[in-house]
């Protein structure tokens, strides 16, 4: 079996853009006409350039290769251009290509990918969602605790047993920083009102995006502790695991981190520093499915759990589900609400979600297929990136 062809898809995500402004998918086909799909997450270049990167890396390192040779392909791409370092751009590209290879391998074997990585551990996967803005909102749901509390109650009624929110203010290229007292007050009010609204029916996941210094994060954590959040997410920028470890030692709230890291090498530093109790690898960035499985095994040794990150399209979601299903130390999977709307429409068969849980597929490979006829009507025409940070320091 040899890899023969590549096709890329840059898909604009229509409003309200939950999961990002666009998704970058790839489809690889073998000389036996078996195909597999993958998705690259948040590569910091225009998606048309990312599509060219996928084609370039495929042509250099995968064309004519047996897709079973994941380790050999991985090392060649990881070391390409004399780098041998976890470059986030290259790792996003490699993740998508590796994911597609795993899909092909599963289809050839007639097995879900999780059966090739140790077998099914979990019959269903607990999931959580952000409280998302909705069309017609007159206020910013991330700045209005009253509206967020109402939405939290609605989500609990749907079956969610964990809810995430991020009221810590905008994030900029100049973080970390000290939050000002009004921001600290708002964060405390948020978690207090949501706890009062949902009681013990749902865990609260306090999201941030590295906005704070370690000292600032410790100040905030002390305000949040009385309300017992399940986690405090990425409280400091991801480039200093030792600083994150300072926060972890100073609070009783478990620290979750890892969405902006790639490869076992980055995660080993996180584990060695004692920075996080919960690892949030994104399979469209971390280096692919097998790399994520290695990280999960490293975490298992340290009694650290995994909660795969998802703020992208459903192909990464499908890969996350494969990893979660076969990982003993799985905690919870991020969902984008209930996987409906555009996230369902771009697949031939949507991801199954029921009463707060994802039902792992039994189909071979990743268990999803792109609806190519549908997505061709949603080209991305913008110039902005998938996600962007504020370009100026806060006044």
Tokens found for residue 53 = 């990167």
The full length of the chain comes to: 395
Task: Note whether 267 and 261 are within 8 A (CB).
Answer: yes
Q: Phi/psi zone of residue 339: left (φ > 0), alpha (ψ -120 to 50 degrees), beta?
A: left
The label of the residue with tokens 């780098």 reads: 83
Tokens found for residue 134 = 């909705």
Backbone angles phi, psi at 279, to 5 degrees: -100, 135
Q: From CA 345, how far away is CA 339, in angstroms rounded? A: 10
- 309: annotated active-site residue: yes
Task: Note whether 389 and 159 are within 8 A (CB).
Answer: no
Backbone angles phi, psi at 221, to 5 degrees: -55, -40
Task: Note whether 345 and 335 are within 8 A (CB).
Answer: no
Q: From CA 29, how far away is CA 189, in angstroms rounded? A: 52
Catalytic residue among 35, 46, 85, 209: 209
10 Å Cβ neighbour count for 197? 20
Half-sphere exposure of 132 (CA within 13 A, CB side): 15
Q: What is the dihedral of CA 72, 27, 309, 92, to 10 degrees?
A: 50
Taking only the tens place, the pLDDT of each residue in 228-240 is: 999 999 999 999 9
- pLDDT at res. 395: 87
Taking only the tens place, the pLDDT of each residue in 159-203 is: 999 999 999 989 999 999 999 999 999 999 999 999 999 999 999
- 209: annotated active-site residue: yes
* pLDDT, averaged across the chain: 97
Domains and CATH numbers, the chain: 3-111 (3.30.390.10), 115-366 (3.20.20.120)
What separation in angstroms does the CA of 168 have from each of 97, 188, 249?
Answer: 35, 10, 21
Which spans in the chain are helix H? 47-57, 70-78, 88-109, 145-158, 181-198, 214-224, 241-250, 263-273, 289-301, 314-325, 342-345, 372-375
- pLDDT at res. 194: 98
Rg, Å, the chain Cα set:
20
Backbone angles phi, psi at 240, to 5 degrees: -135, 80
Catalytic residue among 35, 46, 303, 309: 309
- Residues in the chain with pLDDT < 70? none
- pLDDT at res. 169: 85
- pLDDT at res. 270: 98
């Amino acid at each position: 079996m040899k890899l023969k062809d590549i096709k890329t898809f840059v898909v604009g995500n229509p409003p309200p853009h939950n999961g990002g402004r666009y998704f970058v998918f790839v489809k690889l086909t073998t000389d036996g006409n078996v195909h597999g799909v993958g998705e690259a997450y948040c590569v910091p270049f225009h998606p048309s350039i990312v599509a060219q990167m996928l084609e370039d890396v495929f042509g250099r390192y995968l064309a004519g290769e047996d897709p079973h040779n994941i380790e050999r392909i991985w090392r060649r791409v990881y070391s390409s251009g004399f780098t041998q370092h976890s470059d986030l751009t290259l790792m996003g590209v490699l993740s998508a290509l590796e994911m597609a290879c795993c899909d092909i391998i599963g289809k050839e074997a007639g097995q879900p990918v999780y059966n090739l990585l140790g077998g099914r551990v979990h019959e269903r996967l607990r999931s959580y969602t952000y409280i998302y803005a909705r069309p017609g909102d007159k206020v910013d749901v991330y700045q209005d605790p009253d509206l967020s509390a109402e939405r939290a109650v609605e989500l609990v009624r749907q079956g969610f047993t964990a809810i995430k929110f991020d009221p810590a203010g905008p994030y900029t290229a100049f973080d970390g920083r000290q939050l000002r007292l009004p921001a600290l007050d708002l964060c405390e009010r948020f978690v207090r009102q949501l706890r009062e609204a949902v009681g013990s029916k749902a865990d609260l996941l306090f999201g941030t995006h590295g906005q704070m210094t370690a000292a600032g994060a410790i100040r905030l954590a002390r305000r949040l502790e009385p309300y017992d959040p399940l986690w405090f997410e990425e409280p400091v920028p991801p480039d200093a695991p030792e600083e994150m470890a300072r926060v972890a030692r100073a609070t009783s709230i478990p620290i979750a981190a890892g969405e902006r890291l790639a490869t076992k090498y980055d995660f080993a530093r996180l584990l060695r520093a004692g920075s996080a109790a919960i690892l949030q690898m994104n399979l469209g960035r971390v280096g692919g499915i097998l790399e994520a499985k290695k990280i999960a095994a490293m975490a298992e040794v340290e009694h650290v759990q995994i909660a795969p990150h998802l703020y992208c399209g459903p192909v990464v979601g499908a890969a996350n589900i494969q990893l979660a299903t076969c990982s003993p130390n799985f905690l919870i999977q991020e969902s984008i609400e209930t996987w409906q709307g555009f996230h369902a429409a771009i697949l031939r068969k949507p991801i199954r979600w029921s009463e707060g849980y994802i039902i792992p597929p039994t189909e071979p490979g990743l268990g999803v297929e792109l609806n190519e006829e549908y997505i061709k009507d949603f080209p991305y025409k913008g110039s902005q990136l998938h996600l962007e940070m504020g370009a100026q320091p806060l006044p």
